[in-house]
Amino acid sequence: MYQKVKGTYDVLPNESPYWQFLEQKIREICAIYNFSEVRTPILEHYEVIHRVNEDSDMVKKQTYDFKDLSDRLLTLRPEQTAGIIRAYVENKLYANQDISKFYYIGPNFRYERPQKGRFRQFSQFGVEALNSDSYLLDAEIVALAYNFIKSLGINEIKVEINSIGDSQNRIEFRKTLVEYFTSYTELLCDDCKNRLLTNPLRILDCKVCSKEPFFKNAPSPLNYLNNESKERFDKVLEELENANIDYVVNPNLVRGLDYYDHTVFEIVSYSEELSHLALGGGGRYSSLVKELGGPDITGIGFAFGMERLLLALNNSNLINIVPPLLDVYLLVTTNYPYKISLLQDLRKNNITVETNYTVGSFKNMFIKALNKNPKYILIAGEDEFKNNTITVKNLSTRTEEIVKKTNIIKYLKKELKTKKG
């Protein structure tokens, strides 16, 4: 028996309407904010993801890297920002000197330990806004993330926000942080022992160490902001306040990837079931476009996990998708010729139709037809074939009528229209 790859899942027909619902909501809000969709490849050259300055645990330990048959080293994208910036630079989309606003929906791959809300193939909806370092754009992007969640009807969420300052602030902060945690090396978890050498900022959002008493007095990046960075952060918060965005400053929030600076944020569920699960997060980045060969352009973006959004929607019973009723079931009880052309005529007139593909006992065929839950069953047998008619059973009134075959479309259209009306 073949099984799906660990950490992946199938979206089956009863689940796909939920995905379609979510995708439609995303497209609606992105249209209102005037963000355009981009679709980049799932495969990128290894170097696009594994950049010299990228030291995050995720990129270092969780990517699917492999060589193709021509010995090219490739990576399945673990997130989409890097690929989008690669496309932005490769296609010189910055040439118009204007702000570019993109959104994306699609799968990513990370070799993680699968658990609730965590998969090896998962999908993200995200946005990127490039070519402006205005604090207003930071506030607008946070507002977009917040308003999107609200528009889905998901409550009990908060924006957790922080500033990690510019690169200069971070050099100083990093030094102090390493000094602080070095005195607790023995108490750090194994991952954080490594992070102390490679990516000390990440220790701050370690789920294990953050619960320990030694963590209490750890320095926060907020205390290392210079005046300019601090002022910038205050203005972002002021905008959010005025726009009624429910936020809280989380002084330990740093986020996983190395390319962030200034504003970083997460949208966190505070509901009992999802206890503090991050539905999405993002931040500003200043070095990424340059790192990928482009000009000195900054950007800001966020990404939501689609699976987690669906989890939050399902937990709050917010989607109740009722499959549409089938208009017609065409039940053919004999070897009726030109069946496809009849089905085609119905469908050309926007009538949804199912049919039987084999002929058996009438009772069995009729039960199968009823199971499809149609509004009408059209019966075409020997008599109907001889007389050029079709028998129409109306399942709501339980009445039956014999209709001339040439009139059947007109008849059904009128019937279906009255019903809908």
By CB under 6 A, name the binding residues for ligand AMP. 79, 110, 112, 117-119, 122, 124, 256, 278-281, 303-305, 307-308
Which amino acid is it at 363? K
- Token pair for 4: 């799906």
Q: Which is nearer to ligand AMP, 110 or 284 (CB)?
A: 110
> Would you call 249 helix, strand, or coil by DSSP?
strand
CA distance 113 to 377: 50
Residue (219 or 256) nearer to ligand AMP, CB: 256
Rounded to a whole number of angstroms, the minimum distance from the CB of residue 124 to ligand AMP is: 5
Phi, psi of 281 (to 5 degrees): -170, 170
For residues 75 and 44, is the Cβ–Cβ distance under 8 A? yes
Helices then strands (H, E): number in the chain?
Answer: 14, 16
With tokens 């500033």, the residue in question is 163
- The residue whose two tokens read 């989309």 is 93
Q: Which is nearer to ligand AMP, 278 or 313 (CB)?
A: 278
Token pair in block for residue 57: 């645990």
Ramachandran angles phi, psi of 271, nearest 5°: -70, 160
Least CB distance to ligand AMP at residue 353 (A): 39
Contacts of 290 (CB under 8 A, 6+ apart): 296, 297
Q: Residue 301 in contact with residue 255, Cβ under 8 Å?
A: no
Chain position whose Cβ is nearest to ligand AMP: 305
Given a contact cutoff of 8 angstroms between Cβ atoms, the answer to whether 293 and 277 are in contact is no
Whether residue 404 contacts residue 389, with contact meaning beta carbons closer than 8 Å, is answered with yes
For the CB of residue 136, give the shortest distance to ligand AMP in the complex, in Å: 23
Q: How far is the CB of 79 from ligand AMP (least distance, A)?
A: 5
Tokens read off for 241: 């306040």
* Contact between 250 and 270 (Cβ < 8 Å): no
Residue environment code for 98-111, b if the CB has 16+ CB neighbours within 10 A, otherwise e: eebbbbbbbebbbb
In angstroms, give the least distance from the CB of 241 to ligand AMP: 24
Q: Which is nearer to ligand AMP, 58 or 249 (CB)?
A: 58
Rank residues 252 and 389 by Cβ distance to ligand AMP and give the closer one.
252
We find the least distance from the C-beta atom of residue 327 to ligand AMP, in angstroms, to be 38
| Cβ-contact 219, 246 below 8 angstroms | no
Considering beta carbons, is residue 116 or 419 the nearer one to ligand AMP? Answer: 116
Question: ∠326-327-329 over CA atoms, to 5°?
Answer: 80
Q: Measured from the CB atom, is 80 or 333 closer to ligand AMP?
A: 80
Q: Quick one: 64 or 94, whose CB is closer to ligand AMP?
A: 64
Residue (185 or 314) nearer to ligand AMP, CB: 314
The bridge status of strand 121-130 relative to strand 247-249 is: unpaired
